[in-house]
Structure 1
Amino acid sequence: MKSTSPTVRFSTHGGEFTQIGYTGFSWQHDMRVHNETEQSLVLTLFNNANNEIAAGPATTGLGLAIDLVNRTVTKLRSLFNPNNLIHSVSQGNYQLLSGTNGHVLMDYGSIAKVKEFDGDGNVVCSAQFGDHNAVASYRGYRCQWHAAPFWKPSLVVRRTDTGANVSMGWNGVTNYDNWAVYSVISEKSVEGRWIRTVSRTGFEITVTLTDVSSHYIQVVARQGETVLSKSEVVSF
Structure 2
Amino acid sequence: MFSSLARIPQLTSLFSLLIITTFFSPATANWKYKSRPDLSPPTLNITTPATFAISPGYIFVAPYSFPGWDPPLPHGPLQPGPYIFTSSGELVWSGFGYISGYVANFQAANWKGEEVLFAFEGSLNGEKGHGHGHATILNGSYESIKQVRGAGSKVLDVHEFQVLDERTAVVEIYRPTPFELKKFGAGPRSQWIVDAVFQDIEIETGRLLFEWSSLDHVPPEESVYSIASLAFGTGYNSSDALDYFHINSVDRDADHNYLVSGRHTSTIYKINGTSGAIIWRLGGRHSNFTLAPGVAFSFQHHARFISHSKEGDIEIISLFDNSGPELNGKRGEYANESSGKLLSLNTTSWTAALIQDFPAPHGVFAVSQGNTQILPNGNAFVSWGSAGAITEYSPDGTVIFHAYLESGDLWANGNVQNYRGFRFNWTGVPHEDPAVVALRHGESTVVYVSWNGDTETDVWAFYGVDAKGREIIVGEKKREGFETSFYVWSGKKWSGFFAEAVGKDGKVKRRSTIVRPEKYIYKYVPGRDDLVYQQGLDEL
For Structure 1 versus Structure 2, the TM-score category normalised by the shorter chain is: 0.7 to 0.9
Q: Secondary structure of 2:473's match?
A: strand
Q: Could you report, residue by residue, the CA deviation over 1:129-172 in whole angstroms, capped at 9, with x for unpaired residues?
A: 46549443332333347484667212235677xxx665433274
Counterpart selection for 1:22 from 284, 294, 319: 294
Q: Could you report, residue by residue, the CA deviation over 1:19-46 in whole angstroms, capped at 9, with x for unpaired residues?
A: 3433111111111112135222111111
Q: Which residue of 1 aligns with 2:438?
A: 155
CA contact (8 A) 1:157 1:166 kept: yes
Distance 1:235 1:43, change over 3 A: closer
Q: Is 1:126 matched up with 2:403?
A: yes
Alignment identity in percent? 20
Whichever residue aligns with residue 114 of structure 1, its letter is I
> In 2, Cα distance between the equivalents of 1:89 and 1:54?
13
> In 1, Cα distance between the equivalents of 2:333 and 2:511?
54
Distance 1:180 1:136, change over 3 A: closer
Matches within 5 A, 1:1-236: 1-6=270-275, 8-12=278-282, 14-37=286-309, 38-49=312-323, 54-82=333-361, 84-98=362-376, 101-123=377-399, 124-129=401-406, 131-132=410-411, 134-143=415-424, 144=426, 146=428, 148=430, 152-156=435-439, 166-170=446-450, 172-175=452-455, 176-186=457-467, 189=469, 191-202=470-481, 203-207=483-487, 214-224=493-503, 225-234=508-517
Q: Secondary structure of 2:281's match?
A: coil
> In 1, Cα distance between the equivalents of 2:314 and 2:392?
27
Q: 1:174 Cα deviation (Å)?
A: 2.9
Whichever residue aligns with residue 280 of structure 2, its letter is F
Q: Could you report, residue by residue, the CA deviation over 1:177-218 in whole angstroms, capped at 9, with x for unpaired residues?
A: 32222232239x4x51334433324443335678x9x53451
Distance 1:15 1:172, change over 3 A: closer
> In 1, Cα distance between the equivalents of 2:480 and 2:418?
33
TM-score calculated relative to the size of structure 1: 0.75
Whichever residue aligns with residue 230 of structure 1, its letter is T
Whichever residue aligns with residue 25 of structure 1, its letter is F
Distance 1:198 1:90, change over 3 A: closer
Q: Secondary structure of 2:448's match?
A: strand
Q: Secondary structure of 1:110's match?
A: helix
- Gaps spanning 5+ residues in structure 2: where? 1-269, 327-331, 520-540
> In 2, Cα distance between the equivalents of 1:165 and 1:154?
10
Distance 1:54 1:227, change over 3 A: same
Asked which structure has the greater RCO (Cα within 8 Å, sep 6+), the reply is 2
Whichever residue aligns with residue 74 of structure 1, its letter is A
Q: Could you report, residue by residue, the CA deviation over 1:97-126 in whole angstroms, capped at 9, with x for unpaired residues?
A: 33xx22222222222222222323233122
Whichever residue aligns with residue 221 of structure 1, its letter is E
Task: Choose 196-205 or 35-44, whichever is displaced more.
Answer: 196-205
Q: 1:2 Cα deviation (Å)?
A: 1.9
Instruction: Indicate the structure with greater helix content.
Output: 2
Q: 1:57 Cα deviation (Å)?
A: 3.9
Whichever residue aligns with residue 364 of structure 2, its letter is I
- Gaps spanning 5+ residues in structure 1: where? none
